[in-house]
Structure 1
């Protein structure tokens, strides 16, 4: 299976924070194609190990989160309408008219509705509908809904990814299933080589609610270098150019206090050497990614962050260019190959 088709499979899979087990077996199958061993830790992180050819090698950790934002059942009223709350950063403005799946004792298809504009007051028409005023309608009587659905059941968006022109793809949860495909592309490139370093490919859990999977996996692995792969904001007409990056013009390399300066310089030098296009992101503090958690684990881990520009983040039509994924995977593979020998990550 080619990696574009694999990305659509992962995008269409459901796995909100805390419920990644819905599809983590698919990621294990992917990593098994490129790693000597694959296992899952107690938190649910999927960890693949690409062994080195020598004893006591340096350890490189690649981390991309597999969880997505979603919803959770909060209440069921006397007519069978389901009230809900969010898991992760859900913008209420995207919710009206969304199709969803309520994962109760059975998976139930539903739609999110609210009072139509025809019945709203003049004041209500001028305001965005709040999440607490929306309901999910699954078309069943209340007694049947309460038989099949419990408070706390997860709810996911029912959305299928699509290919656009010029190697663009859109769909839900490309944040950060695209990062997992970057890791896959890297592992595919590394499969052709024997390595002096040991590579840990990690699909982390619960990034959207607090970087939790990265915290425990980096503590367990204790790598010499940690590299987070995530998404950043792709440029759109309504967004600031200072805060967005061009899609299709290469992965984004972050610099700032969350990132080890010698590593960021090294990976940029490698990108130039191999003519891999890249962009730069200046982050003065918290990057809000797994890199933030990895950096301060144990006694500190030298960290990098590589991002894929993504339009319409945290919606069901997230959009990116697949060329950026391919280039990011190659860049990471060349970077890892260049690390054979001595790691120069001291702070002197």
Structure 2
């Protein structure tokens, strides 16, 4: 199966934060033949383990949850009121097709007041989430038979292939990171190495990096590397805060990043002709990185970023080449640890 087909499977599977059962099953199926065992923990993280004796342990982490919505109420006319799970850009919600994951899948559309009957003040601003409704075509009595308060909601979206190997979909954040980690495992399957590798598809990142907190504590790796998406450049955004699509891996540098790991990753990218960009993250990266870094007595941590446009919308867009290059760099990094004294690499 091509990487694009695997990405399609990942992004089109539902898995809102706190409701990751379906994406867990999909990820487990993709990793199954590439590792020695797959485990879960009480929070729902999926942990794919390549076992080599446990002398050196590297944890890779990419979150498999996605942002979404949740049923808040059903009004007297049968329209669904909703709230957000994670930081959805509510400006992009009007007219979206959605799936309410109730007792059965219920399709609906996000409805707002037509522009013809909006006053001049309303036309100048985006509608607030509390003013939107989901029309599922049912009366209140019919709706209550299939929909309950607390049911998760996802945008109904199929992955699109654009030009130049670009792809667009919901949930690229961070199923693209899961795919990069999977590609790393595919490369390692063909190589000999002595490193224990834990590939963790973490849960609930979008609501507080909770999966990374417990999985890092449980695994207690020597090194942790988070894989997530970074802000892709568009004409209106400042260059120093963005990454260019198809121009290489974002190798993050900042407070959450161990400086020697940053240096090592850049050296390996140069050695293996992997294009890269420096991703400046001066404070909290907003990813699983920080939660891994401060676990137990502290873990040497790095972050690789996949450039992504239109983050936290249903049309997140990226380059497949960037995903492949992240997977390659992860694999070369793990292979490079075979003959290295980790104490010498990680000490300040």
* TM-score, structure 2 normalization: 0.98
Cα displacement (A) at 1:66 = 0.3
How far is 1:165 from its partner? 1.2
1:210 is matched with which residue: 208, 223, 229?
208
The aligned counterpart of 1:7 is 7
Structure 1 unaligned spans of 5+: none
State the match for 1:97 in structure 2: 95
**Hey, what does 2:292 align to over in structure 1?**
294
Which residue does 1:239 correspond to in 2?
A: 237
Structure 1 pair 276/121, CA: closer, same or farther in 2 (3 Å)?
Answer: same
CA deviations on 1:67-100 (whole Å, 9 max, x unpaired) are 0000000011111010000000011100100000
**In the TM superposition, what is the alpha-carbon distance from 1:60 to its structure 2 partner?**
0.3
In the alignment, structure 1 residue 42 sits paired with structure 2 residue 20: no
| Residue in structure 2 matched with residue 160 of structure 1 by the alignment | 158
The CA distance in 1 between the partners of 2:160 and 2:185, in whole Å, is 25
Q: How many angstroms apart in 2 are the aligned matches of 1:199 and 1:56? A: 9
- 2:54 and 2:14 map into 1 onto residues whose CA distance is 38
Partner Cα distance (1:332, 1:199) in 2 = 11
Q: Which residue of 2 aligns with 1:338?
A: 336
The CA distance in 2 between the partners of 1:346 and 1:334, in whole Å, is: 18
- Whether 2:56 is the aligned partner of 1:58: answer yes
Deviation at 1:330, TM superposition (A): 0.7
Q: Deviations over 1:102-156 (max 9, x none)?
A: 1111110000001111111222222221100000000011100012111111001
Q: Are 1:185 and 2:183 matched, yes or no?
A: yes
Q: Distance in 2 between matches of 1:178 and 1:56?
A: 28
Distance 1:22 1:34 in 2: 20
3-state SS of the aligned residue for 1:49? strand
Offset from partner CA, 1:299-328 (integer Å, 9 cap, x none): 000001000000111111111010111111
Q: Determine the C-alpha separation between the residues in 2 that align with 1:14 and 1:346.
A: 38
Query: Cα offset for 1:61?
Result: 0.3
Counterpart of 1:113? 111
TM-score of the superposition, structure 1-length normalised? 0.98
Which residue, 133, 138, 142 being the options, matches 1:135? 133
**Alpha-carbon contact 1:97-1:112 (below 8 Å) kept:** yes
Alignment match, 2:280: 282
Match of 1:19 in 2: 19
Unaligned runs of 5+ in 2: none
Within 1, Cα distance between the matches of 2:23 and 2:238?
35
Indicate if the aligned counterparts of 2:13 and 2:26 stay in contact, CA closer than 8 A.
no
Distance 1:308 1:198 in 2: 24
Within 1, Cα distance between the matches of 2:48 and 2:285?
25
- Determine the C-alpha separation between the residues in 1 that align with 2:117 and 2:102: 32
Choose which of 241, 247, 250 in structure 1 pairs with 2:248: 250
Distance 1:193 1:122 in 2: 64
Q: 1:302 touches 1:345 (CA, 8 Å); kept in 2?
A: no
Identify the residue that residue 313 of structure 1 maps to in structure 2: 311
In structure 2, what is the Cα distance between the partners aligned to 1:26 and 1:91? 26
Q: How many residues align?
A: 346
Mapping 1:74-93, distance limit 5 Å: 74-93=72-91
Deviation at 1:33, TM superposition (A): 1.6
Runs (4+) off by over 2 Å: 344-348
Once the two structures are TM-superposed, the CA of residue 178 in structure 1 deviates from its matched residue by: 0.3
Task: Note if contact 2:247-2:276 (Cα within 8 Å) is conserved in structure 1.
Answer: yes
Q: C-alpha distance in 2, partners of 1:178/1:211?
A: 17
* Cα distance in structure 1, aligned partners of 2:84 and 2:345: 40
